[in-house]
Amino acid sequence: MHTATAVTHPVTSSGFFERLNTDYHETALRAFMVVVLAHWVEHLLQGLQIYVLGWPVPEARGALGLVFPWLIKSESLHYGYAVVMLIGLWTLRTGFTGKMDRFWWMTAFWIQFFHHIEHGILQTQAILGQNLLGRPVPTSLVQLWVPRVELHLFYNTIVFIPMAIAMYYHLFPPASETTAPRCACAVEA
């Protein structure tokens, strides 16, 4: 019954997610990667503004933050992006059917899960108007030891690297991979 419904009404939520991980997996991954890379550009620009141009840290807000300073100062934007990442990693996971690509994709997911908790802690402080341990600004757990700019370069790297490795194995599956792919992402050798 359920199967018949899914076939005759493909725009059910399960049908939608199924297609995202099969027919549209490549398109979905490309779209997701545009979002991830745009976020990276912001962080790399922020790094350049501080490390090369010598801007004061509060003034170094990437590109978006120059036009919309309030946007970058808001914890909601950062938390929102962390949630989008988490949803993207979770939603697109079943398209990674190999041993290697699935392992690295889920590694990225679990690291992002912790990263999202950190942003949740920041967002909670912003909402409550009370900062962790009386700090002058919202502060995440690891930020108690590591400055925010360097910490976020670190987090973004350790989430992105396993993602990149997963996509590499997804596009170029090793010969040892025996599971049949559900999507057409793999590049013919």
Partner 1 sequence: MAITGFVALLLIIVTLGWIWTTRHQPPALRMASHVVLTIAALAGVFAVAKVWRDSPRVR
The residue (of 14 and 157) whose beta carbon lies closer to partner 1 is 157
d(CA 98, CA 63): 38
Closest approach of partner 1 to the CB of residue 44, in Å:
6
How far is CA 45 from each of CA 6, 34, 49, 156, rounded to the nearest angstrom?
A: 45, 16, 6, 14
Binding range to partner 1, per CB under 8 A, among 12-20, 44-52, 85-93, 129-137: 44-52
- Considering only CA atoms, give the Rg of the chain: 19
Q: Which tokens go with 37?
A: 């890379």
Does position 44 bind partner 1 by CB under 8 A? Answer: yes
Among positions 165, 177, 182, 186, the unique one binding partner 1 when judged by CB under 8 A? 165
DSSP 68-86: -HHHHH-HHHHHHHHHHHH
Does position 76 bind partner 1 by CB under 8 A? Answer: no
Binding range to partner 1, per CB under 8 A, among 60-68, 72-80, 120-128, 159-167: 159-167
Contact criterion met (CB below 8 Å) for 75 and 162: no
Binding range to partner 1, per CB under 8 A, among 86-94, 124-132, 157-165, 178-186: 157-165
d(CA 83, CA 22): 23
Closest approach of partner 1 to the CB of residue 158, in Å:
6
Binding range to partner 1, per CB under 8 A, among 12-20, 50-58, 118-126, 133-141: 50-58
Contact criterion met (CB below 8 Å) for 89 and 105: yes
Contact set with partner 1 (CB under 8 A): 44, 47-48, 50-52, 145-147, 149-151, 153-154, 157-158, 161, 164-165, 168-169, 172, 174, 189
